[in-house]
A and B are shown apart, each in its own frame.
Chain A
Amino acid sequence: MTLISDEDRNFLVDYFSKELVDPVKLVYFTQHQSPLAVPSTVCTYCKETGELLDEVAGLSEKITVEVHDLLKDADVAKEYGVEKIPAVILTGKNRGKVRFLGIPSGYEFSSLIEGIKDVSKGTTDLSEATKKELAKITAETHIQVFVTPT
C-alpha cells in the first residue's frame, strides 16, 4: 500500500523534474524497529514517516533520504539538534535549518514539498523587502510552528 496517491505521484514527478535544481537530502531521525515494543518507548509514526519519505525520494533522482537512529546515532542527532522523533531535516542550499517534527502528512505534506523545492533552489518567493529585513538577523532565531494533521 502506498501513501501517496497515483494522481499525486504523477503531479509530483512532473513538478520535481521542472522545479528542482540541486540535490536535497532528507535527513531522517527515527528509532530502530525492535520486535520487543515497549509501549512507552514506541514512536507511533516513525515507520509511516520513513515510508512516506522513501516514497517522496522515489519521485526524483535529486531527493535522497539519510536515515539515523536517534539513540545509536546520538552524535549525529546532537549535530542536528534533534531530541524528538520522527524528525526530518531538509538539507541542500538552505542557509538556516528547516525541520519537521512529526509525520509531515495532510497540509504539512505540501509544506514539505515546497520546502524541498525551495531548499533545492536556495531561493524563496519572499519579497525583496522581507529578504532585506531578514538579513538584519544575526542572532539565532528559533521559529516553531505548531500544526495538526488535517
Chain B
Amino acid sequence: MAQKMAIENEHIIADTVEATEFPEMSQKYRVMSVPKIVVNEKTEFVGALPEDRFLKEVMKAQGNGKAQ
C-alpha cells in the first residue's frame, strides 16, 4: 500500500523495514507486532488497513498529525 502511494506521488518515501534486522529502529518505534506503519515519525498504526483507511492515516500525518 505504502509503496503504491510512493509510486504515485513524488513526495512520498515508502520504506519496508524488516524489523528483526534493525532492532534499534524497532525499539525506537516500539514495534511489538507487525505490520506496524509509522508516518512522518508521528502517526502510527498496527495491522494492514484497507486502502481508504490507510490513506486517511497518511493524510492525517500531513500538518500537525491531528484528525481533520
Q: Which residues of A contact B (CB under 8 A)?
A: 44-45, 81, 84, 93-104, 108, 111, 114-115, 118-119, 122-127, 129-131, 133-149
Q: Among A44, A94, A125, A129, find the residue whose CB has the most chain B CB atoms closer than 10 A.
A: A94
Q: Among A44, A84, A130, A139, find the residue whose CB has the most chain B CB atoms closer than 10 A.
A: A130
Given contacts A118-B4, A127-B51, A134-B8, contact A146 B14 (CB under 8 A): no
Given contacts A130-B52, A142-B39, contact A98 B7 (CB under 8 A): yes
Q: What total count of A-B pairs have CB within 8 Å?
A: 169
**Which residue of the partner chain B has the closest CB to A45?**
B21
Q: Is the CB of B20 within 8 A of A94?
A: no
List of 5 A-B pairs having minimum Cβ-Cβ separation, nearest first: A102-B18, A96-B6, A96-B12, A124-B4, A102-B21
Known: A104-B16, A104-B18, A134-B12. 13 other contacts (CB 8 A): A95-B12, A101-B16, A101-B17, A114-B3, A118-B7, A124-B7, A134-B5, A140-B11, A141-B39, A143-B5, A143-B15, A144-B15, A146-B35
Q: Is the CB of A130 within 8 A of B20?
A: no
Q: Among B6, B19, B34, B59, find the residue whose CB has the most chain A CB atoms closer than 10 A.
A: B6
Which chain B residues lie closer than 8 Å to A96 at the CB level?
5-14
Q: Is the CB of B12 within 8 A of A137?
A: yes
Q: B55 is contacted by which of A84, A95, A130, A149 (Cβ under 8 Å)?
A: A130
Given contacts A103-B21, A142-B15, contact A97 B6 (CB under 8 A): yes
Which chain A residues lie closer than 8 Å to B18 at the CB level?
100-104, 108, 147-149
Q: Is the CB of A147 within 8 A of B19?
A: yes
Q: Could you tell me the distance in whole angstroms from the C-beta of A3 to the nearest C-beta in chain B?
A: 15
Q: A146 is contacted by which of B12, B17, B52 (Cβ under 8 Å)?
A: B17
Given contacts A102-B22, A126-B8, A142-B41, contact A97 B62 (CB under 8 A): no
